Amino acid sequence: MLSDLNSNRIITESSLPRLESELLLAFLLHKNREFLLTYPEKKISSTIYKKFKQLEEKRLNHWPIAYLLGHKEFYGLDFIVNQQVLTPRPETELIIDQVLELITIKKPDIIIDVGTGSGAIIITLAQKIKPRISFLATDISTSALKIANQNARHHRVDKKIKFYQGNLLTPIIDKLSGRDLLITANLPYLTPKQIKNSPSIQWEPLLALNGGPNGLRYYYELFQQLNKVSYQSLTLLCEIDSTQKLEIKKLAQKYFSGCFLEIKKDLAGKDRLLILKN
């Protein structure tokens, strides 16, 4: 009976894991999970229940829960997300850790995030780094840049970061000559086969996932662009799939002869991040 609905019954009878059902119901009630734990007998209206069932169905069809909630935590910060941007992953936090470590050794003139998406990387860095450094970010998607700008305003770093629309470094290439560059790049690196075999990502933007036949199409383009820049120094961090370790090292050595290369593992022990210094 709908008249007998309370929060505990809805959560208990849901086909979702308890944590997910709690998050979705709390979202619809504009409360946190602790509220549901404190008031398990909270009466739930039929309107809220119907909305919950709609979200439940989407989640059972592999929608990322971040899209249903409209936000995702990354490095302790909360980011607005929707279907126009990739949901920030925990493994990408490795980029932040490494940048914060690297700038204690050498401070760049500019930090650039290529393919910024929701802006999670560049916004987190702008929050964490206090020295006067220019922060730039690019993305080919105007829809993604709208979300990134919203997130920058939300975290009050919109005055520190300049966002540019365009492919990789194209809109800012003329700003890089003679500079000490630090570039982060979490570009699409999955192959079409990987995407097809991963139902959990079917609702995320294909533009942010598909890296071509070997997954490295955009890194190839990025390396080509950088090869034409007369920079003073370059530190480049590229997130990759663990299977691409050898191939991306060969590609980097082709375009950056004599560079320092290192592959960092994520918390799961998988090769995840190429660090290049030139």
pLDDT tens string 204-236: 999 899 999 999 999 999 999 999 999 999 999
Dihedral sign for Cα atoms in the order 136, 208, 173, 145: negative
Tell whether pTM > 0.85.
yes
Of the chain, the percentage scoring pLDDT greater than 70 comes to 99
Q: Distance of CA 239 to CAs 132, 183, 232, 245, Å?
A: 26, 11, 23, 10
Return the SS3 of 118: coil
Residues 137 and 262 in one domain: yes
**Considering 27, 61, 95, which residue would you say is the last residue of a domain?**
61
The rounded distance, in Å, linking the Cα atoms of 63 and 56 is 9
Q: What is the pLDDT of residue 52?
A: 95
Q: What is the pLDDT of residue 2?
A: 58
Residue 114 in domain: yes
Residue 66 in domain: no
The whole domain housing 201 covers 71-277
Q: What is the pLDDT of residue 41?
A: 87
Q: Binning pLDDT at 50, 70 and 90, where does residue 3 land? A: low
Return the SS3 of 243: helix
- Total structural domains within the chain: 2
Q: Distance of CA 77 to CAs 67, 88, 257, Å?
A: 16, 11, 38
Considering only the C-alpha atoms of the chain, give the largest distance between any 2 of them, rounded to a whole number of Å. 72
Residues 56 and 125 in one domain: no
pLDDT tens string 26-73: 999 999 889 988 888 889 999 999 999 999 999 999 999 999 999 999
Residue 51 in domain: yes
pLDDT tens string 89-117: 999 999 999 999 999 999 999 999 999 99
Residues 30 and 131 in one domain: no
